């Protein structure tokens, strides 16, 4: 066991982990931030996407210890300071960009990272960027629409 310390959603946190503990498990189990989801065991689905130092990362591909000293944002950290839904989150609600909600945290985190890189993406750019996020419910139609709306609102 080793101690890992990082900033998560603006708060400094630390915890005891094994070398093999994944960042996704640390966030879910040690921090009880269960918005980050686990949809696969082959790093394919993107349900676990968080931001590490501003970059979208599949948290199941990273050991918790590798995030030592990093600044991590999870879906729980995406709301406005007053607690209302942030721009991307609100766009998903407005455009029915989610159904069961399981892929949604990863989708929102990927979408936010995309808009950071490319504030006005085309439909094709959005679809290509989401290549690593699987949604089984929405057929992606309304996810794309949500991201376009978020881009327009920003």
Partner 1 sequence: MSDKGIGASSKRREDVRFLSGNGKYTDDINVRGQKYVYFLRSDLAHGKINGIDTGEAASMPGVTGIFTGEDFAEVGGLPCGWQVTDRFGEAMKEPAHPVLAQGKVRHVGDPIAAVVADSLEQARDAAEAINVDMEELPAVIDMKSAVAGGTLVHDELETNLCYDWGFVEENKEAVDEAIKNAHHVTTLELVNNRLIPNAMEPRVAIGDYDASNDESTLYTTSQNPHVIRLLMGAFVLQIPEHKLRVVAPDVGGGFGSKIFHYAEEAFCTLAARKLRVPVKWTASRSEAFISDAHGRDHVTKIELALDGNGMFQAIRTDTYANMGAYLSTFSTSVPTWLHGTLMAGNYKTPLIYVNVKAVFTNTVPVDAYRGAGRPEATFQLERVIDKAARELGMDPIEIRRKNFIQKDEFPYATPVALEYDTGDYVATMDKLQEIADLDGFEARASESRKKGLLRGLGINCYIEACGIAPSNLVGMLGARAGLYESATVRVNATGSITVMTGCHSHGQGHETTFPQVIADMIGISEDQVHIQHGDTSNTPMGMGTYGSRSIAVGGAAMVRATEKIIAKAKKIAAHLMEASAEDIELKDGSFSVVGTDKSVGWGDVCLTAYVPHNYPLDQLEPGLEETAFYDPANFTFPAGAYACEVEVDPETGKVDICSFAATDDFGNVINPMVVDGQVHGGIAQGVGQALREHAVYNEDGQLVSGTYMDYSMPRADDLPSFVVDHSCQTPCTHNPLGVKGCGEAGAIGSPPAVVNAVLDALNKGGYNVSHIDMPLSPSRVWSAING
Answer whether 70's CB lies under 8 Å from 59's CB: no
Q: Does 65 bind partner 1 (CB under 8 A)?
A: no
Query: Smallest distance from the beta carbon of 130 to ligand FES, in angstroms?
Result: 11
Pick from partner 1, ligand FES, none: which does 58 bind, CB < 5 to 8 A by kind?
A: ligand FES
Q: Which does 113 bind (CB under 5 to 8 A by kind): ligand FES, partner 1, none?
A: none
Q: How far apart are CB 53 and partner 1 at their closest, in Å? A: 20
Does position 39 interact with ligand FES (CB under 6 A)? The reply is: yes
Among 40, 96, 116, 120, binds ligand FES (CB under 6 A): 40
52 - beta bridge partners? Answer: 55, 72
The DSSP line for 71-130 is EEE-GGG-S-TTSS--HHHHHHHHTT--SS-SSHHHHHHHHHHHHHH-SS--HHHHHHHG
CA distances from residue 6 to 14, 87, 95, 113 in whole angstroms, order as listed: 6, 26, 34, 20
Name the binder of 92 from partner 1, ligand FES, none, CB < 5-8 A by kind.
Answer: partner 1
Lay out the sheet containing 71-73: strands in order across.
11-17, 2-8, 71-73, 49-52, 55-58
Contact call for residue 134 and partner 1 (CB under 8 A): yes
98 near ligand FES (CB under 6 A): yes
Does 138 interact with ligand FES (rule: CB under 6 A)? yes
Write out the residues near ligand FES by the rule CB under 6 A.
Answer: 38-40, 43-48, 58, 60, 98-104, 135-138
């Amino acid at each position: 066991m080793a101690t890992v310390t990082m900033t998560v959603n603006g708060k400094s946190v630390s915890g005891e982990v094994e070398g093999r503990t994944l960042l996704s498990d640390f966030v879910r189990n040690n921090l009880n931030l269960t918005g980050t989801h686990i949809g696969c065991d082959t790093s394919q689905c993107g349900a676990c996407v968080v931001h590490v130092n501003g970059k979208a990362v599949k948290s199941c591909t990273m050991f918790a210890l590798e995030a030592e000293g990093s600044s991590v944002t999870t879906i729980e950290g995406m709301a406005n300071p007053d607690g209302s839904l942030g721009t991307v989150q609100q766009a998903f609600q407005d455009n029915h960009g989610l159904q069961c909600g399981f892929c949604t945290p990863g989708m929102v985190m990927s979408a936010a990272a995309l808009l950071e890189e490319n504030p006005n993406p085309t439909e094709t750019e959005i679809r290509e960027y989401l290549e690593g996020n699987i949604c089984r419910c929405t057929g992606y139609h309304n996810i794309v629409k949500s991201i376009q709306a978020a881009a327009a609102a920003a």
